[in-house]
Structure 1
Amino acid sequence: MKTKLTILLGLLLMFSAFTSEKQVITIFTIGDSTMANKPLEGGNPERGWGQMLSRYFSEEIVIDNHAVNGRSSKSFIDEGRWDKVLVKLKKGDYVFIQFGHNDEKPDEKRHTDPGTTFDANLKRFVEEARAKGAIPVLFNSIVRRNFGEANADAVAKAVVQDDIREGIDPNVPQAEVKTGARLIDTHGAYLDSPRNVARELEVPFVDLNRVTHDLVEQMGPEASKQLFVWVAPNTVPALPKGREDNTHLNVRGAATVAWLAVQEVIKVVPALKPYVRHYDFVVAKDGSGDFFSVQEAINAVPDFRKNVRTTILVKRGVYKEKIVIPASKINLSLTGEDGAVLSYDDYADKLNRFGEKTGTSGSASCYIYAPDFYAENLTFENTSGPVGQAVACFVSADRAYFKNCRFLGWQDTLYTYGKGCRQYYEDCYIEGTVDFIFGWSTAVFNRCHIHSKTKGYVTAPSTDQGQKYGYVFYDCRLTADEGVTDVYLSRPWRPYAQAVFVRCDLGGHILPAGWNNWGKVENEKTAFYAEYQSRGAGANPQARAPFSHQLHSLEGYAMEDVLAGTDGWNPMKNGNALLDIKR
């Protein structure tokens, strides 16, 4: 009986663990080319606004974009595309519905009439989505960039223009748009159908035409081209003939419209508001960002932008590039989705193009020189392997803050390079073999996981003489690969090295002596190595090297004291808030 109860309890615990996990909410998008995902080959600048939605929602929301070029509400149903969405819908999902551009077209495969067949199709989407427990949201069409005269011929031409993608004919003069011309509506009653159906069926409605109309009209005839696919001939491989397109959006336009859509959505669907996020720039391999590479995004940050952070989101993926964040890109925040990895594979003995050795400093995958840098949820790695010195992250920035980041490498993984600089690492994972945390900076490691892959030395500080603090580790956990032993906490790269471990859990791989003098007895007189309340199999105060210290209090070693400097920097209390510093 007791055994049966134990098994039953175990099953209940397993079930509760599964059910307690957050339910993934999917937003399905159905519509036409203004919403659809676009190919990326050849530097294609066109994007649909649905393609950019994921950048504005946290990872608890999945965007499943089913919008397709050239489809109307009728052809989307007739081709079985709606049925494919219905099969995937589950309770609590959302369906964003935007048709109209192609329902206006005269061909019988696509044409519907507002007030009758168009409305009937929208009602079908709503009712069948609700039957699956999903939440439909209706949108009307985004505006066409149609500046000029409000006459029937001009409107008809604008409607047909949606399907013309061959590019510009240099022999045909383009219509001249006069300064001050008004933006003319081309959708007519097709804008009213989603609104009317939403009112009748009590469905959330977003007037996306209104907000895009206001934006484009405010920008005017010339500046508004920056939102649409206006490309000169022979400038983009994907569009060799160029294009002057007043319907379809470019990267900037799609990102702008998607953000407008999200802001309107949360007004009518407040349940989605907690999932909304916004970054100044987004890096993504799938085309949903502003850039494909991290360095491109960094280069776009204005130099010496004062008193405000510039935020960059790096979407999941491995970005193999050598990254440099120069000193002029101050106040920069770099945040990664789960699985965002910044990677490169240089190493010290690798020869550069001139046949010279790269050197330790030259081997880094990422260089950070800008003060007030903040990184969260990113992996910095050097994949060159056990080939000697190979830096994953080189930090020469003051007030640099890393939260929940991973630093992966072998020898010399994390180079705290900056003299007189302060760095704060919170809930980070750092791995390596020999001297894998090293350098001149004052650095605090709070609740970090420090992992040794082979025997060697965890740290190699090179603290300058007279510098008050070097490395201080608080409540960290030190582990090693299975079978690894003979690891020292530190050895002094320079004579006045400092490292202090406070309340750290030391694995059995840490040698009883704990500290090494780098083969120089004279270092024992100048280096300062200490522990306070170490615990775990590697804690052995009686056997420690005689030149090290066991602290009996933390006087002078409060985290805020270590990092305060002359400006009172306190990331533990204030997070990544900027100090009021005159530059």
Structure 2
Amino acid sequence: MRIARWMTAAAAAVSVLAATPAFASAHGGPGTASRPILSPAEAAPFTPGNYLGFSGPYAAPVADPWRPQPIVTRHRDFVVGGRGFSTVQAAVNAAFKAGGSTRRSIAILPGTYPGTVFIPAGSPPLTIYGVGRPADVRLEFTVDATLTPAAWAALVNPDGRYAEGDPAWEMFRSCATRTSTNAGLCATVVWSQSTDLQLKGLTITNTLLDTVDRGTHQALALRTDADRTQLEDMRLISRQDTFLANANDVARIARVFVRDSYIEGDTDFVFGRASAVFTRTRFHLVSTRKDSGGVIFAPNTDPSYPYGFLVVRSRITADEGYRAAPTGRLGRAWDQGAGTTGYLPGVTPNGQLVIRDSTLGAGFAAATPWAPAATTARPFAARVDAGRDLNDIYFNRLFEYANRGPSAAG
């Protein structure tokens, strides 16, 4: 479905997208084919309210404003650490079994908690938070997507934390019985399929880190699949694919809101299909495993939907290695599923991202901050003509507006 048909479904709520853009303003626009810049009129629709304002199927989105409030951590229905549960998974299982529609809180005391955590669909609304500083409440595990499904299953379940009949059993079984040659996106420390999840004050690290070469080693810290996922004061650390903001149902919108957090990696380390807003968040590109050509964002937005990732009032930084040799990339589209067909306009996902009102530190390729697409290597190309359609399926949808700092557009 093209954007015009989507607008018919969403009607006046996003009619501003049809407005004629203003070019050559003091704030930029249109930029170049390799570094497109939005004009003020073009940037107007790209607000948290629009990215978080719709739910339901892409074919017929429903106006459903979601305005996340600061996460409240006063309650402790379940406690992990001390005299409470010894694992986070055990507390999640208990919350699931408690059931109901009332929000439940899981408080995690300072410490390091090894192993994976799977939060199944059907859980009550959950708030999982750390007590104290995020750096002192650590969820850690070492898992690499290159493992076979059988090896993955043996690695993540040596203590039987996933057993038939347990709430997360089906999540575990879906990965353990994969017919693919590798574990793929099951290689994550924390994985949620639960709607209305809140995470606050935690450090989640896939500790594979620099123990492998610079090749393809997907190693997720956090994967979220469901609608209305909220992160606050989080630290997510890995190298490739640190945070997957996903939509488990590829036909339906899933929304994610991230505030006051830190995300670190070296390859596509913020990626996925969700409609996600990141505010007051730092994204840090590191060179310790891969010393050139690192990429931060890799959205795989539905081609019919105008809202993928929005980064606003945030910081994008790189370490000393990239600052000395600025080859970092802000992002690229993820042409998921098109490895054999190539990019198919209107069929293949076409990643959408706007970085606005943010600080871009040194270390990034100024003339070419957007890399060719993942999976297909489709060259990056944006429209720069007057009256351009920002959702043209034949062009990329990665844009900037009103940024500052050493790597911002001149």
TM-score past 0.5 threshold: yes
Deviation at 1:357, TM superposition (A): 4.8
Bigger relative contact order (CA 8 A; separation at least 6): 2
SS in 1 for 2:268: strand
Match of 1:429 among 251, 258, 262: 262
Name 2:404's counterpart in structure 1.
535
What residue is the counterpart of 1:410 in the other structure? 239
What residue in structure 1 maps to residue 150 of structure 2? 353
Structure 1 residue ranges without an equivalent (≥5):
1-275, 542-583
Question: Number of residues paired by the alignment?
Answer: 263
Deviations along 1:458-491, one digit per CA (max 9) or x if unpaired, are 1111001112200000111011111212111111
- Whole-Å Cα distance in 2 between the matches of residues 431 and 522 of structure 1? 24
Tell me if the contact between 1:281 and 1:313 (Cα under 8 Å) persists in the aligned partners.
yes
2:102 to 289, 308, 327: 308
Q: How does 1:72-151 map to 2 (within 5 A)?
A: none
* Alignment partner, residue 288 of structure 1: 83
Task: Pick the aligned partner of 2:76 from 279, 282, 300.
Answer: 279
> Structure 1's 402 and 432: CA in aligned 2 closer, same or farther, altered over 3 A?
same
Distance 2:95 2:203 in 1: 21
Query: Counterpart in 1 of 2:186?
Result: 362
How big is the shift at 1:305? Answer: 3.6
Aligned to 1:516: 371
Aligned partner of 1:565 in structure 2 is none
- Matched residue, 1:298: 92
The Cα of 1:392 is off from its aligned counterpart by: 0.5
- Summarize deviations over 1:279-318 as a string: whole Å, max 9, x none: 000000xx332x1100000000145844421000000111
Structure 2 residue runs of 5 or longer lacking an equivalent are 1-72, 153-179, 336-348, 383-393
- Cα distance in 1, alignment partners of residues 351 and 98 from structure 2: 33
2:328 is matched by which residue type in structure 1?
V
Give me the whole-angstrom Cα distance separating, in 1, the residues matched to 2:147 and 2:129.
30
Identity %: 32
When residues 309 and 516 of structure 1 are mapped into structure 2, their CA distance, relative to the original with a 3 A threshold, is: same
TM-score when scaled to structure 1?
0.43
Pair 1:521–1:453, CA change in 2 (3 A): closer
Deviation at 1:277, TM superposition (A): 4.7
Q: Which residue of 2 aligns with 1:457?
A: 295
Question: 2:237, 2:139 → 1: CA distance?
Answer: 10
What's the counterpart of residue 478 of structure 1?
316
* Cα RMSD after superposing both structures: 2.0
- Deviation per CA, 1:122-165: give whole Å up to 9, x if none: xxxxxxxxxxxxxxxxxxxxxxxxxxxxxxxxxxxxxxxxxxxx
Q: Which has the larger radius of gyration?
A: 1
Distance in 1 between residues matched to 2:379 and 2:265, nearest whole Å: 26
- Decide whether aligned partners of structure 1 residues 506 and 302 sit closer, same or farther in structure 2, where only a CA change above 3 A counts: same
Query: Is contact 1:365–1:393 with CA below 8 Å preserved after alignment?
Result: yes
- Kept in 2: contact 1:492–1:523 (CA 8 A): no
- For 1:497 and 1:526, locate their aligned partners in 2 and report how far apart those are by CA, in whole Å: 10
**Secondary structure of 1:392's partner?**
strand
Q: How does 1:20-419 map to 2 (within 5 A)?
A: 277-284=74-81, 287-289=82-84, 291-303=85-97, 305-337=99-131, 338=133, 339-353=136-150, 357-386=181-210, 387=212, 388-418=217-247, 419=250
Alpha-carbon distance in structure 2 between the residues aligned to 1:441 and 1:523:
23
- Whether the aligned pair in 1 keeps the contact of 2:102 and 2:124 (CA below 8 Å) is no
Q: Is the 8 A contact 1:392 1:409 kept in 2?
A: yes
Amino acid at match of 1:441: A
Return closer, same or farther for 1:354/1:375 CA change in 2, 3 Å cut-off: closer
CA shift digits 1:176-214 (9 cap, x unpaired) = xxxxxxxxxxxxxxxxxxxxxxxxxxxxxxxxxxxxxxx
Note if contact 2:315-2:359 (Cα within 8 Å) is conserved in structure 1: yes
Take 2:182 and 2:350, find their aligned partners in 1: how far apart are those partners?
Answer: 27
CA distance in 1, matches of 2:196, 2:228: 5
Question: C-alpha distance in 1, partners of 2:333/2:381?
Answer: 7
State the shift of 1:529 in Å. Answer: 1.1
**SS of 2:321's equivalent?**
coil
Amino acid at match of 2:395: T
Deviation (angstroms), 1:342:
1.1
CA distance in 2, matches of 1:309, 1:354: 36
Q: Secondary structure at the match of 1:526?
A: coil
Give the match's secondary structure for 2:186: helix
Q: What amino acid is aligned across from residue 278 of structure 2 in structure 1? A: F
The corresponding residue for 2:386 is none
Contact 2:269–2:297 (Cα < 8 Å) also in 1: yes
Which residue is 1:467 aligned to? 305
CA contact (8 A) 1:497 1:526 kept: no
The whole-number CA distance in structure 2 between the counterparts of 1:278 and 1:304 is 16
TM-score (norm: length of structure 2): 0.61
1:499 corresponds to: 353
Secondary structure of 1:445's partner? strand
Q: Hey, what does 1:490 align to over in structure 2?
A: 331
Return the structure number with greater helix share.
1
